Amino acid sequence: NKTLQEVEQPVTLLREVLRIAKKAVINFPNFGYWRVRNALMFRGRMPKSRHLPHEWYDTPNIHLFTYRDFQRISESEGIRIEKKHYISDGFLGKTLNKLGYANLGAEQVVALISRE
């Protein structure tokens, strides 16, 4: 469910989910994805894609974050990322993921999380 970036208190949501359940699956768009960066850098506009279909003024996304941001907040909150899957369209994104550059190559991230 892609809601983490849409709620007002995403850290509170993560805490509550892991208070109730031992594990949870989190899915979110990665705003560090190379196409997002490209749209901002070369077009000077907020990107639109199949996974980010809204204009900037009518998007439900209120917290834009990257996979690295998610890693950092997980670490500071004592959340373990047990497994992760990077979703990418196209050769470049998949290649970046395989080379260890998921923050650049992943359009979306699916993570299995738990408390440390």
Q: Are strands 79-87 and 108-115 parallel, antiparallel or unpaired?
A: antiparallel
Report domain extents, the chain. Answer: 10-115
State how beta strands 23-29 and 79-87 pair: unpaired
Q: What is the pLDDT along the chain (116 residues), one digit of tens a residue?
A: 567 888 899 999 999 999 999 999 999 999 999 999 999 999 998 888 777 788 888 888 888 899 999 999 999 999 999 999 999 988 999 999 999 999 999 999 999 999 98
Q: Which fold has domain 10-115?
A: Rossmann fold (3.40.50)
**What span, in angstroms and rounded, lies between the C-alpha atoms of 30 and 27?**
9
DSSP assignment of 63-99 equals ----HHHHHHHHHHTTEEEEEEEEE--SHHHHHHHHT
